[in-house]
Amino acid sequence: MSFAATVLTLYPEMFPGPLGISLAGRALGEGKWSLDTVQIRDFAIDRHRTVDDTPAGGGAGMVLRVDVLAAAIDHALAMHPDCPVLAMTPRGRPLDQQRVRELAAGPGVTVLCGRFEGFDERIFAGRPIEEVSVGDVVLSGGEPAAIMLLDACVRLLPGVMGGAESGTEESFESGLLEYPHYTRPVEWEGRVIPDVLRSGDHAKIARWRREQAEADTRERRPDLWERYCPRG
């Protein structure tokens, strides 16, 4: 059984979008994963097919109705009862590579995309939903966040990425940022590739990469470094 992605959205035409291209697109064509969209509006209950309403307590914008969301989620859960439901929201737990790895090892994901001001909060109490943020930024909708999440999962699926190794050395996999890369030309505008990388001494290269990864993490991501240190 291949990884089953289901996206609940008001804009199904945004999919597969970037996920239909390159690595993810090829894997989709090969059946290594599947992608279905569910139009949230199909679960509206009035004849105007309304999905949103004004916020209780007043204020700007519109809020996605809990009854409509529940109907759409129940539909997806009936299709894929084993897939976790992830709602894209800046209020969620920040997505990280560890969670992506767990999701990619599972049967698939059902992704709920918000629009407007977001979701009626009661949906999170009424249905089993994991709230996920893709960073401390505000997007206009959950679709780009869903594309990011799915892209991160799909590249980890068996047989999707060319070199098996390039998955394990990647940034975050070891708790560190990855070391920097270089390629030809050896000299560019007076800047030369570090000598050690041309030494052919694999042990020395491995040591240099390790040191670079540590130094860069310490400098660029003190938060990651802090978490890494107790182990290191």
Residues that bind ligand SAH (CB under 6 A): 88-91, 113-115, 117-118, 133-135, 137-139, 141-142, 145
To ligand SAH, the closest distance from the beta carbon of 183 in angstroms equals: 33
To ligand SAH, the closest distance from the beta carbon of 139 in angstroms equals: 4
To ligand SAH, the closest distance from the beta carbon of 158 in angstroms equals: 27
CA angle 175, 180, 182 (to 5 degrees): 150
Q: Of the two residues 50 and 166, which places its CB atom closer to ligand SAH in the complex?
A: 50
Bridge pairing between strands 3-9 and 108-112: parallel
ω into 107 cis (within 30 of 0)? no
Q: Of the two residues 73 and 176, which places its CB atom closer to ligand SAH in the complex?
A: 73
Q: Which residue is at the shortest CB distance from ligand SAH?
A: 114
SS3 content of the chain, % helix, strand, coil (to 5): 40, 20, 40
Any residues with CB less than 8 A from the CB of 82 and at least 6 apart, and which?
A: 106, 107, 108
The secondary structure of residue 11, as a DSSP letter, is -
To ligand SAH, the closest distance from the beta carbon of 129 in angstroms equals: 12
Give the integer Cα–Cα distance in Å for 88 and 139.
10
Q: Of the two residues 33 and 119, which places its CB atom closer to ligand SAH in the complex?
A: 119
Q: Of the two residues 89 and 110, which places its CB atom closer to ligand SAH in the complex?
A: 89
